[in-house]
């Protein structure tokens, strides 16, 4: 009988959590995007966005109903700390990218969204390979974070756009 009580409590908690809208982190569900043509951006960010959009049930192909235009992408790198010999001990990586959602004919549907990320990388002057590998791993993480931020912003924008379109159609 105790197992039945435990099962009931577990089910009740599961229903309560799902009723409040909580869900595990996964790809955001994009509203009414149908098909999207992703243009611009480096191979790294482009592929991450295509994969995430496809896992959100958005058809990604050339000539889609909408265009996700990526632009102004760049990495900046600067030394923020040096060791006793004057060699770089830490560098700062700054990543910037902009995006805009367009209709297929090129008419903008959203304002230009901007993503800006900063990370610090420890540099070991005695082991250049390890420092290079660490920097590459951090850059990969920054691409992934930027892709998630773009998707969250796109999700919010699409929810607003397509909810208001439905409201505009009503008499």
In a domain, 8, yes or no: no
Q: What is the CATH number of the domain that holds 43?
A: 3.30.160.150
Let me know: does 150 contact 115? Beta carbons within 8 Å: yes
For residue 11, the SS3 value is: helix
In a domain, 16, yes or no: no
Whole-angstrom Cα distance, residue 22 to residue 137?
Answer: 30
pLDDT average, residue stretch 66-76: 94
In a domain, 112, yes or no: yes
In a domain, 23, yes or no: no
Using one digit for the tens of pLDDT, what is the confidence trace for 87-117?
888 899 999 999 999 998 999 998 999 999 9
In a domain, 114, yes or no: yes
Domain region containing 45: 28-169
pLDDT average, residue stretch 4-14: 53
The whole-number pLDDT of residue 27 equals: 52
In a domain, 21, yes or no: no
For residue 134, the SS3 value is: helix
Whole-angstrom Cα distance, residue 118 to residue 138?
Answer: 10
Residue 17 predicted with pLDDT over 70: no
Let me know: does 162 contact 31? Beta carbons within 8 Å: yes
Comparing 68 with 34, the larger pLDDT belongs to 68
Total domain count, the chain: 1
The whole-number pLDDT of residue 154 equals: 87
Residue 63 predicted with pLDDT over 60: yes
pLDDT > 90: percent of the chain:
40
The whole-number pLDDT of residue 71 equals: 96
The whole-number pLDDT of residue 166 equals: 47
The whole-number pLDDT of residue 171 equals: 47
Shortest CA distance to 41 belongs to which of 33, 50, 32? Answer: 50
pLDDT band at 37 (very low <50, low <70, confident <90, very high): very high
Comparing 128 with 166, the larger pLDDT belongs to 128
Whole-angstrom Cα distance, residue 64 to residue 68?
Answer: 10
Comparing 145 with 7, the larger pLDDT belongs to 145
Helix, strand, coil fractions of the chain, as percent rounded to 5: 45, 30, 25
Shortest CA distance to 96 belongs to which of 149, 155, 43? Answer: 149
Shortest CA distance to 40 belongs to which of 97, 88, 94? Answer: 97
In a domain, 48, yes or no: yes
In a domain, 20, yes or no: no
């Amino acid at each position: 009988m105790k197992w039945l009580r435990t099962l009931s409590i577990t089910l009740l908690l599961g229903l309560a959590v799902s009723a409040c809208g909580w869900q595990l982190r996964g790809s955001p569900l994009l509203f009414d995007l149908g098909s999207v043509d992703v243009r611009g951006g480096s191979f790294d960010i482009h592929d991450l966005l295509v994969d995430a959009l496809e896992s959100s049930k958005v058809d990604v192909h050339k000539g889609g109903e909408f265009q996700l235009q990526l632009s102004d992408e760049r990495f900046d790198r600067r030394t923020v700390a040096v060791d006793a010999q004057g060699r770089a001990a830490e560098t700062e990586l700054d990543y910037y990218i902009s995006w805009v959602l367009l209709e297929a004919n090129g008419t903008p549907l959203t304002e230009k969204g901007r993503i800006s990320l900063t990370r610090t990388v420890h540099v070991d002057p005695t082991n250049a390979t390890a420092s290079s590998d660490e920097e590459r791993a951090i850059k990969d993480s920054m691409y992934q974070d930027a892709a998630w931020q773009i998707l969250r912003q796109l999700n919010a924008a699409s929810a607003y756009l397509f909810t208001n379109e439905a409201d505009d159609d009503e008499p």
